[in-house]
Amino acid sequence: MSATHTFSNLIPDAILDAVESTGLWSDSRIYPLNSYENRVYQVGIEESSPVIAKFYRPGRWSEAQIREEHETLLTLQEQGTPVVAPLAFEGKTLFLHNGIYFALSPKLTGQHPEADNLDQLYQLGELIGQLHQAMSTPFTHRVSVSPLLQIEQAAASILNAEYLPQRLKPDYQKQIARLHEMCVAQLHNYWPTQLRPVHGDSHRSNLMLHNDQFHLLDFDDCQNGVAVQDLWLHLTQTENPRQQLSEIIEGYESYLPFDIRELGLIDVFKSARIVNYAAWLQQRWHDPAFVKAFPWFASEEYWINHLNELKSCEREWGNMSR
């Protein structure tokens, strides 16, 4: 059964049956939340607060990888790190219903960080420093980051499919080759001998200001990586990116020293993220939710803009590490 077909079976009754299989009693109110890789719903509970039900995309992570994510979150929660951990029922946090793994977590309300708020950037740096200090032991089952391999595989996938317009392919191949060469050189200059556990996707939408404290959400992409992976996503295209970076690092170093050599990896991770995003949309294009949410993906304009993004990576290379 394909992932798309499996998700298509997540009708309201199936969602309620899954939630109630844990022993909770739903009030039948279901609200889909903004998630495409997995399926996430807010589900009302009788005489209690709503819960968040997350249904994992089949075939993406193994049971061992999901359990390691949950164990990490429970440990972080016990240590006082502000994260949202899964709810346990009779000692279990991961459940299987109709062939789909799912988990429940408490609903957290609040606001996402402001992109250019320097005080908040300092607080985010503190939070990520606290997280990295608490996650000191590398993952056993989760993936380890390999940005060069990611670029190679994503670009090959794009070039071998029919979505990238034929007339753009020669220019795309040249641009990917150029960025690949620059990434190889940068990784030769510095790549840590030991990777460390990181959140892996700590963009603003995965952070929530709740009761005057930032919380990290959605550890779906937690992995072995490098510290800067969890920091650079908070740098925005403003007039003072260096000041933003300074605030983040200063907050981070309230908990851990930051190896300044990692700044040279920002361009590598940025390039990989841009190529991977296009390849991800292409890979999931059979999923009706993607066609509805990203209708512009199949247009020539999208691919022109994507190519221009890659060219911008080359033009701006090294700005953050100088």
Binding positions are 206, 218
Cα gap 43→304, rounded to integer Å: 40
Binding-site residue positions for Mg(2+) = 206, 218
260-292 burial, b at 16+ Cβ within 10 Å, e below that, comes to eebbbbbbbbbbbbbbbebbbbbebeebebbee
Q: Write the CB contacts of 149 (distance below 8 Å, at least 6 apart in sequence).
A: none
Known catalytic residues are: 201, 218
Amino acid at 242: R
Cα end-to-end distance, the chain, whole Å? 50
Q: What is the DSSP letter of 192?
A: -
Instruction: Name the β-bridge partners of 92.
Output: 89
Among candidates 137, 17, 128, which has minimal Cα distance to 81? 128
